[in-house]
Amino acid sequence: MSSSPSAATLAPPRLLEQVGAVARRSVTRTFRQRALLIFPLVFPLLLFAINGSGLGAARKIPGFPDVSYLDFALAIPFIQGALFVAITAGTDLARDIESGFFNRLALTPLRGSALLAGQLGGAVVVACVQSLLYLAVGLASGVGIASGFAGALVLLALSILIAFGFAGLGALLALRFGTGEAVQGFFPLLFVTVFLSSSNLPRNLIQVDWFREVATYNPVSYLIEGIRSLIITGWDGEALALGFGFALLLSVLTLSFAGAAMKNRLVRT
């Protein structure tokens, strides 16, 4: 049977069109909320400036890599920024749930996967902007990238992948709990994972045994070390494999669970 014009009009848009429409809305909304945009950009840089200088004496510890502490610390803003992306993405999604927008979408032929992918579009754009900014600030403050220009590109790719994984976590929290307050309540917990990692010192220089153990089992350590290796070491295959591996695992896990939670949210009655 040939499709009539009216049938074509009624046909649901293709998946990519659906993703594009939701992503456009997500990106527009993100950039309209400047207050939400500025804090995630500025706060990690502020901590970078303070800790980078305040902990400068750490490079005098025997065994510390032969680089400035700013070089060593530049990896941290990328991870902190990713945490903010998670909270922003989760809060935006939760607001759609709280406002009833999701329920209205459930009445349309929009596919859950398209909605999830589109919603994370805004988060990815923020991740791109902040990664470029952190890198630019790092270079401007005298940090050198040991792996060169290509390494800088790989660094950006890794940091965006990490942010994407955390954005998936934010989406999962929003879909599971349905309120922005609950998503924001997880922020301290996420932040703690950065503190309990090798963010401030290399793992072999952490003196306290339990802390070193926690940092060793904490995947965030490997995300940080993956980015850091490109800045201070050059091309370190093991650090990069672990960094990309954990970032990919985080993305796959969070998106799988978020996809399942999305199905429950969009149950058509």
Q: Rounded to the nearest whole angstrom, what is the least distance from the CB of residue 54 to another protein in the complex?
A: 5
Number of residues that bind another protein (CB under 8 A): 29
Q: Rounded to the nearest whole angstrom, what is the least distance from the CB of residue 153 to another protein in the complex?
A: 31
Collapsing DSSP to helix, strand or coil, 20 comes out as helix
Distance of alpha carbon 91 from alpha carbon 222, whole angstroms: 27
Q: What CA–CA distances, in Å, run from 81 to 3, 130, 233?
A: 49, 7, 22
Q: Is 173 in the site for another protein (CB under 8 A)?
A: no
Q: Is 53 in the site for another protein (CB under 8 A)?
A: yes
* Other residues' Cβ atoms within 10 Å of the Cβ of residue 139: 13
Among 39, 101, 216, 263, binds another protein (CB under 8 A): 39
* Other residues' Cβ atoms within 10 Å of the Cβ of residue 183: 28
Q: Is 65 in the site for another protein (CB under 8 A)?
A: no
| Residues near 179 by beta carbon (within 8 Å), at least 6 away in sequence | 94, 97, 98
Q: Is 50 in the site for another protein (CB under 8 A)?
A: yes
DSSP string, 93-123: HHHHHHHTHHHHHTTSS--HHHHHHHHHHHH
Write out the two tokens for 88: 């922003």
Task: Give the burial class of 182: count Cβ atoms within 10 A of its Cβ; 0-12 exposed, 13-18 middle, 19 or more buried.
Answer: middle
Q: Which stretch binds another protein (CB under 8 A): 127-135, 196-204, 219-227, 233-241?
A: 196-204
Q: Which stretch binds another protein (CB under 8 A): 83-91, 123-131, 158-166, 201-209?
A: 201-209
Among 195, 216, 238, 264, binds another protein (CB under 8 A): 195
Q: Is 54 in the site for another protein (CB under 8 A)?
A: yes
Residue type, 267: V
- Residue placing its CB nearer to another protein in the complex, 6 or 204: 204
Distance of alpha carbon 131 from alpha carbon 64, whole angstroms: 26
Q: Is 201 in the site for another protein (CB under 8 A)?
A: yes
Among 55, 105, 128, 146, binds another protein (CB under 8 A): 55
Q: Is 223 in the site for another protein (CB under 8 A)?
A: no
Query: What does the binding site for another protein look like in residue numbers (CB under 8 A)?
Result: 35, 39, 46-47, 50-51, 53-58, 60-62, 185, 188, 192, 195-196, 200-201, 205-208, 210-211, 215
